[in-house]
Amino acid sequence: MTPGGRIYQDVIESLTAVADYDLAPTNIEFRSLPPRKSTTAVGGKLGMPSSSAVHDLLECPVCLNLMYPPIHQCPNGHTICLNCKAKVHNSCPICQQELGNIRCLALEKVAESLELPCRYRSLGCQDIFPFHSRRGHEQNCRYRPYNCPYAGAECSVTGDIQFLVTHLKDDHQVDMHDGCTFNHRYVKSNPQEVENATWMLTVFNCFGHQFCLHFEAFHLGMAPVYMAFLRFMGDDHEAKKFSYSLEVGGNGRRLTWQGVPRSIRDSHKTVRDSLDGLIIQRNIALFFSGGHRQELKLKVAGRIWKEQL
């Protein structure tokens, strides 16, 4: 959410009914992701990792992850990874000796010779990789967790799609709707006072997947605008199989947008800052709302469809 912004809950409208919502709650308790097993492999080589004894030697005593070069050690031979060396303020977590800049070159050579399992092994990735290519794989591993797509607050929860759908519903009280067409009406009194705001996220179940509808107010340069866009709960290659349209109008005029939903691998801010969605200037939005332009009553209609490949 834009710093200093506020969260509003939108008005959900079915084809025949409209209901008003209050402000969205922002105090959430979060859960960590339970491991999910899978036997599917993607690239790399299948197999068991190197001996557990060697892996124990490479385990950092602070973060418990496998250590990569540079590996540091204290005068007594206790080792630690580079990231944790800074966290312990250069003091050995085992014997409290000063760590200094002593490198454990022998252990670094052992690490470079190993084939290591993907860090997302517990989530289903069965691949192992040479030391030098493991990090590159992990940055794009299909099993890596997704970040929570909720845009109304800083949420650190990660997980697979099934877990995040439950998390959005239970912890963020996000509305879930079935269907590939929708009508939303976003309502706010005194819209001139709202500089930065994010309305409550809505999730649609469509074609066996989940799509997140975002709506918010912010400044584009000096101009106050509203923006609506769709994100896909899955990877980018899957998102590109779908298209969507958004339409807003009133007083005999209308604006339309057609695009491809962005994967939630792209953050909410990334999508918003790229302006990849329906953008409505505030004065036009208030014109569409009718009346004396003292209240926002903006109806956004949309449709999701699957492209024929």
Of 102, 99, 104, the C-alpha closest to 86 is: 99
pLDDT of residue 3: 44
Q: Supply the pLDDT for residue 4.
A: 46
Choose one of 98, 115, 140: the last residue of a domain.
140
CA–CA dist 217, 102 (Å, integer): 53
Closest CA to 228 of 187, 198, 265, 254: 198
- As for how many domains the chain has, the answer is 2
pLDDT digits (tens, 9 = 90+) for 130-156: 877 888 898 889 899 999 999 877 799
Whether residue 120 is found in the same domain as residue 242: no
> Could you tell me if 118 and 149 lie in one domain?
no
Shared-domain flag, residues 291 and 176: yes
CATH number, domain of 103, equals 3.30.40.10
Pairwise pLDDT comparison (115 vs 137), residue with the higher score: 137
For residue 248, what pLDDT band results from cuts at 50, 70 and 90? very high
- Tell me which of 71, 106, 140 is where a domain ends: 140
Q: What pTM did the predictor assign?
A: 0.68
Say yes or no to pLDDT of 39 above 50.
no
CB atoms within 10 A of CB 120: 17
3-class state of residue 172 by DSSP: coil
Q: Which residue has the tokens 């439950």?
A: 166
Percentage of the chain lying above the pLDDT 70 cut: 82
- In this prediction, residue 309 carries a pLDDT of 67
**Per residue in 265-285, pLDDT tens?**
999 899 999 999 999 999 899
State how far the Cα of 111 lies from the Cα of 128, in Å rounded to an integer: 14
Q: What is the pLDDT of residues 5-15, one digit of tens each?
A: 555 544 444 33
Helix, strand, or coil (residue 150): coil
pLDDT at 291: 65
- Assess whether 286 and 209 both reside in one domain: yes
Looking at 125, 140, 155, the residue that finishes a domain is 140
Please say whether the dihedral angle defined by the alpha carbons of residues 275, 280, 9 and 189, taken in this order, is positive or negative: positive
Whether residue 249 is found in the same domain as residue 300? yes
CATH code of the domain covering residue 245: 2.60.210.10
Is residue 32 very low, low, confident or very high in pLDDT (cuts 50, 70, 90)? very low
Least confident of 24-28, 55-59, 137-141, 272-276: 24-28
Provide the mean pLDDT of the chain: 82
Residues 298 and 281 in one domain: yes
Q: Which residues pair with 46 in a beta bridge?
A: 127
Residue 174 lies in a domain: yes
Whether the per-residue pLDDT at 203 is higher than 90: the answer is: yes
Task: Identify the pLDDT of residue 131.
Answer: 77
Mean pLDDT along residues 47-64? 74
Give me the mean pLDDT over the 7-28 stretch.
Answer: 38
Q: Confirm if 228 and 197 have CB atoms less than 8 A apart.
A: no
User: Tokens 């801010």 label which residue?
Assistant: 269
- What strands lie across the sheet with 115-117, from one edge to the other? 45-46, 127-130, 115-117
- Give Cβ neighbours of residue 305 (< 8 Å, ≥ 6 apart): 180, 242, 243, 244
- 294, amino acid identity: Q
Q: Nearest-5° angle of CA 272, CA 187, CA 250? A: 85
Phi, psi of 30 (to 5 degrees): -110, 160
- Specify the long-range contacts of residues 287-290, CB closer than 8 Å, at least 24 apart: 287/250, 287/251, 287/253, 288/248, 288/249, 288/250, 288/251, 288/253, 289/250, 290/250, 290/251
- Residue 308: how many CB atoms within 10 A of its CB? 5
Rounded distance between C-alpha atoms, residue 66 and residue 80, angstroms:
10
My answer on whether 158 and 175 are in the same domain is yes
Structural domain that includes position 292: 6-33+145-306
Calpha distance 40→201 (Å, rounded): 32
